[in-house]
């Protein structure tokens, strides 16, 4: 009697064309391999010396950046397991706004270490259990690694230490300049309760030309186009904002008008003119000096707006229109007509300014605290401007994170090595098979200092051994916080050695909140992948692909 029934005699569960992959070899290890490839793509972009990637998306738009969030968004990953990792990184972007690279690299490294344990004979469930214990312990240890905090968010020096590291990781060498711009803009819009700080209050306008040192902050909102009419300045003005075109609405049905003579022709067009003149005359009577529209402006309407000395600005982005409503305190109207007093907005100064040959429109409130500040960045190429914008975004998001949790931990790989050291000793005290997984978790954390060392061409083995040695040294008694002296030792990318990162001219400090969520999301993503034991894929919809044209059809 046969011990195993041949596979062909199993009942058919699925339709033709289904793929069914199961077991450690087919499902788990293949998923780990795909994720490892994805994490390797972004790993080389980690840190201040991280390399750029040139990504050309499906619309043939070119991106040259080392920002992991942008790289991942434009790559269009299709592998189902790798997509889980992309989702975890996107969640980190939404939660903190920084640290997406950390999530992908760490999750990829956790799975690499898990692959070794699987090949050694451990069951995925045992690895998952050990990783869960290690993750809880790592977050517990992280709480005690804070070496500094932002004491007063309204002080420039305090804010600087929280955002410089993040900006330097994207734009190394420009961190002083860009952090000054971010801090200046933040202090203009910071509300009385800093926890109500909204990252949307800081806008970025990119104007080609000149260089990055010509970038500056403007109080209020800036739009990269000039007004439509001849009026280009208004002060202490009431503002009406519309989402509809400034023109007479066309009827949905087509009609035929029979005109018998020239008088009828003149009267026909006069009726239209009188109607639009009546509406815009009411604007002038209501004291409206500025009209903003999110759509087109008709020629006839523009003529009357110029006649009544009303400034008209076109804002084509609905998000910008919404922000402008918040700044001037107006409501966007979907119909053409005079707004009520509650629907109107007010702005102290609306003017056209020339910046580097481009004429832009500025909406500025003169009171002390503004609801919006705009950072105008200059640069030679569009790619440079885009990359600087991403660095500024990270800086602004870090300030938002600091309002939630002001604690800072040492950067440059110092925190990760300290976590690895303490987790290793925790793993050695843990009985049973879980200790293998806990030690694998701690070894995965080594990827960060190793990558920083690799990017500047250092010997990674030597740097890691130096870091472990420094972190194992007993605390120096003359230190004020005693046991924290070893915690601060990280990779010095400028002098190619290890250093106390808090004593550098620009201390390398990361937000504790960013690290906390990154470890949490990366571990959750890795555990989700390890729990998969079977992949079932249905046949894609649609028939066979049409035959492609032969490129050499005219050759014999």
Q: What are phi and psi of 21, to 5 degrees?
A: -110, 130
Tens of pLDDT, residues 391-400: 888 888 888 8
Query: Tens of pLDDT along the chain (556 residues)?
Result: 445 545 544 456 666 666 666 666 667 788 888 888 888 888 888 878 878 888 888 788 888 888 888 888 888 888 888 888 888 888 888 888 788 888 888 888 888 888 888 888 888 888 888 888 888 888 888 888 888 877 877 777 778 888 888 888 888 878 888 888 888 888 888 878 877 788 878 888 888 877 888 888 888 788 877 778 787 777 888 888 888 777 766 555 566 777 777 777 777 666 666 777 777 777 777 778 888 887 777 777 787 777 878 888 888 877 878 888 877 777 887 777 777 877 788 887 888 877 777 788 888 777 655 677 888 888 888 888 888 888 888 888 888 888 888 888 887 888 888 888 888 888 888 788 888 888 888 888 888 888 888 877 777 788 888 888 887 765 443 343 444 556 777 787 777 777 777 777 777 888 888 888 888 888 888 888 888 777 676 666 666 667 766 766 666 5
- Inter-helix orientation angle 512-530/80-95, to 10°: 160
- Give the whole-angstrom CA distance, residue 391 versus residue 225: 24
pLDDT score of 15: 63
Please report, for the chain, the start and end positions of each structural domain, with discontinuous segments joined by +. Answer: 12-147+410-537, 153-217+365-405, 221-251+261-359
What is the predicted pLDDT for the residue at 481? Answer: 44
Structure tokens given for 484: 């924290």
Distance (Å) of CA 324 to CA 233, 294, 363, 364: 17, 11, 8, 11
Q: How far apart are the first and last CA of the chain?
A: 61
Strand (E) or helix (H) holding 277: helix 262-285
Strands 148-149 and 407-410: what pairing? antiparallel
Q: CA neighbours within 13 Å on the CB side: how many for 375?
A: 32
pLDDT of residue 479: 41
Q: Quote the distance between the C-alpha of residue 141 and its chain's center.
A: 28
Q: Is 554 exposed, middle or buried (0-12, 13-18, 19+ CB in 10 A)?
A: exposed
H-only helix segments in 493-544? 512-530
Q: Decide: 29 and 115 in contact? Cβ < 8 Å.
A: yes
CATH architecture type of domain 153-217+365-405: 2-Layer Sandwich (3.30)
Q: Which CATH architecture has domain 221-251+261-359?
A: 3-Layer(bba) Sandwich (3.50)
Q: Does domain 12-147+410-537 have CATH number 1.10.645.10?
A: no
To the nearest 10°, report the CA torsion of 249, 253, 256, 259.
-20
Q: Please check whether residue 203 is in contact with residue 221, taking contact to mean a CB–CB distance below 8 angstroms.
A: yes
What is d(CA 466, CA 470) in angstroms, rounded to the nearest whole number? 6
């Amino acid at each position: 009697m046969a011990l195993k029934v041949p596979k062909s005699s199993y009942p058919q569960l699925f339709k033709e064309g289904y793929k069914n992959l199961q077991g450690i070899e087919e499902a788990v290890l293949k998923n780990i391999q795909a994720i490892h490839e994805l994490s390797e793509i972004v790993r080389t972009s980690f840190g201040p010396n991280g390399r750029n990637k040139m990504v050309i998306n499906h619309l043939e738009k070119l991106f040259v950046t080392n920002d992991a969030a942008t790289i991942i968004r434009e790559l269009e990953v299709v592998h189902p397991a790798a997509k889980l990792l992309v989702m975890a990184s996107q969640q980190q972007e939404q939660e903190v706004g920084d640290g997406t690279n950390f999530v992908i690299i760490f999750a990829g490294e956790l799975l690499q270490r898990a692959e070794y344990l699987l090949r050694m004979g451990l069951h995925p469930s045992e690895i998952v259990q050990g990783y869960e214990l290690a993750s809880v312990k790592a977050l517990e240890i992280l709480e005690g690694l804070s070496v500094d905090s932002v004491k007063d968010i309204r002080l420039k020096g305090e804010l600087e230490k929280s955002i410089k590291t993040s900006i330097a990781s994207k734009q190394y060498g420009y961190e002083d300049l860009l952090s000054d711009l971010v801090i200046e803009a933040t202090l203009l819009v910071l509300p009385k309760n800093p926890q109500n700080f909204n990252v949307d209050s800081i806008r970025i306008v990119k104007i080609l030309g000149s260089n990055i040192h010509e970038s500056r902050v403007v109080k209020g909102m800036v739009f990269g186009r000039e007004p439509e009419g001849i009026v280009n300045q208004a002060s202490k003005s009431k503002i009406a904002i519309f989402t509809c075109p400034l023109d007479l609405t066309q009827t949905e049905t087509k009609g035929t008008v029979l005109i018998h003579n020239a008088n009828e022709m003149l009267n026909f067009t006069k009726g239209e003119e009188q109607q639009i003149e009546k509406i815009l005359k009411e604007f002038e009577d209501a004291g409206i000096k500025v009209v903003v529209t999110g759509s087109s402006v008709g020629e006839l309407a523009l003529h009357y707006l110029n006649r009544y000395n009303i400034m008209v600005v076109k804002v084509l982005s609905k998000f910008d229109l919404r922000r402008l409503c918040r700044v001037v305190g107006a409501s966007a109207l979907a119909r053409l007509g005079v707004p009520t007093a509650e629907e109107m907005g007010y702005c102290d100064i609306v003017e056209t300014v020339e910046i580097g040959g481009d004429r832009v429109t500025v909406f500025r409130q003169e009171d002390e605290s503004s609801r919006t500040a705009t950072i105008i960045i200059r640069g030679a190429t569009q790619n440079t401007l885009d990359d600087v914008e991403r660095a500024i975004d990270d800086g602004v998001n870090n300030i938002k994170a600091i309002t939630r949790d002001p604690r800072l931990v040492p950067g440059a790989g110092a925190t990760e090595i300290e976590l690895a050291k303490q987790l290793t000793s925790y793993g050695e005290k843990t009985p049973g098979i879980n200790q293998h997984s806990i030690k694998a978790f701690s070894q995965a954390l080594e990827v960060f200092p190793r990558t920083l060392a690799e990017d500047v061409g250092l010997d990674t083995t030597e740097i890691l051994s130096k870091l472990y040695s420094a972190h194992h040294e007993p605390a120096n008694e003359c230190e004020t916080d005693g046991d924290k002296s070893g915690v601060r030792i990280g990779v010095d990318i400028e002098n190619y050695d290890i250093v106390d990162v808090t004593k550098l001219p620009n201390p390398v400090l990361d937000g504790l909140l960013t690290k906390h969520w990154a470890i949490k999301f990366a571990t959750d993503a890795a555990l989700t992948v390890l729990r998969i034991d079977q992949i079932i894929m249905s046949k894609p919809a649609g028939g066979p692909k049409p035959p492609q044209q032969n490129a050499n059809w005219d050759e014999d």
